[in-house]
Structure 1
Amino acid sequence: MHIIEIFGRIFLSAVFLIAGVNKIFNYEGTTAYMESFGVPDFLYIPAIILEILFPLLIVIGYQTKISALIMAIFSISLAIIFHTDFSNQMQVMSFLKNFAIAGGFIIIFVNGPSRWSIDYMLKSRTK
């Protein structure tokens, strides 16, 4: 793989990194939104951790495969929980976007990181 693969990891991860940081600064708005869909507010902190930790791991290429799998599952879960009002075109697009992002994470899970990753460097050292 070429170094350009890093950009794919960054682009996929950026959506969640930005959302996670925004959640930190918008507790009331975020928890109200979550609760309006039946998601309890005690999941606020785990959501922030998921949206920041695992995308960062994907960007640096550490524990990449498991992080990508977790983010694929998370992205699909978000689509199913928050974006199933198919009478609203924006919700349809958000639903499809989340599945497309999950597809990107699944590709990373299947292929693993390239040589431009901590995982690759660690694997090379053990040989």
Structure 2
Amino acid sequence: MHILELFGRIFLSVLFLAEGIRKFFFQEETIMYMEDFGVPEILFFPSIFVEIFFPLLLIIGYKTKIAALVMALFTLTVAIIFHTNFNSGMEMTFFLKDLAITGGFIIILINGAGLLSIDRMQKSKTK
């Protein structure tokens, strides 16, 4: 069952990794999209950092609770800023998807990474 914890962390993270990489290669259109919602260009590179760095931490299970907290806050913020046009069925779906993902990050925040993680290996060494 411990392998499922790892797969869960990977599945939650891969969406953000792919999106961070996409943003990096399509900077101009991403910045325009962000600005359409009132998000300043200065937040472009920090958003890429969050979408790549913290999911990598989650995958390897290092500083997992911190990474899960950052990702939960990031995902909830994205949902509120970009997906609250509830007149659009697709936007409602995106909003609910982001809430579900936020819930997954909260579960990791509470429970930690599990057995297959650097956090667990470090914890075992200190005992």
> What TM-score, normalized to structure 2?
0.98
Which residue number in structure 1 is paired with residue 119 of structure 2? 119
- Shift in Å at residue 2 of structure 1? 1.6
Residue 82 of structure 2 aligns with an amino acid whose one-letter code is F
2:2 counterpart SS class: coil
Which residue number in structure 2 is paired with residue 101 of structure 1? 101
Residue 14 (str. 1) matches residue 37 (str. 2): no
Alignment deviations for residues 66-124 of structure 1 (CA, whole Å, 9 cap, x no partner): 10011001000000000010000000000000000000000000000111000000111
Identical columns (%): 58
Q: Distance in 1 between matches of 2:20 and 2:11?
A: 15
Higher relative contact order (CA 8 A, sep 6+): 2
Report the count of equivalent residues. 127
Residue 64 of structure 1 aligns with an amino acid whose one-letter code is T
Which residue number in structure 1 is paired with residue 27 of structure 2? 27
Residue 86 (str. 1) matches residue 107 (str. 2): no
Pairwise CA RMSD of aligned residues?
A: 0.7
> What TM-score, normalized to structure 1?
0.98
- Shift in Å at residue 62 of structure 1? 0.1
Q: Structure 2 regions of 5+ residues with no counterpart?
A: none
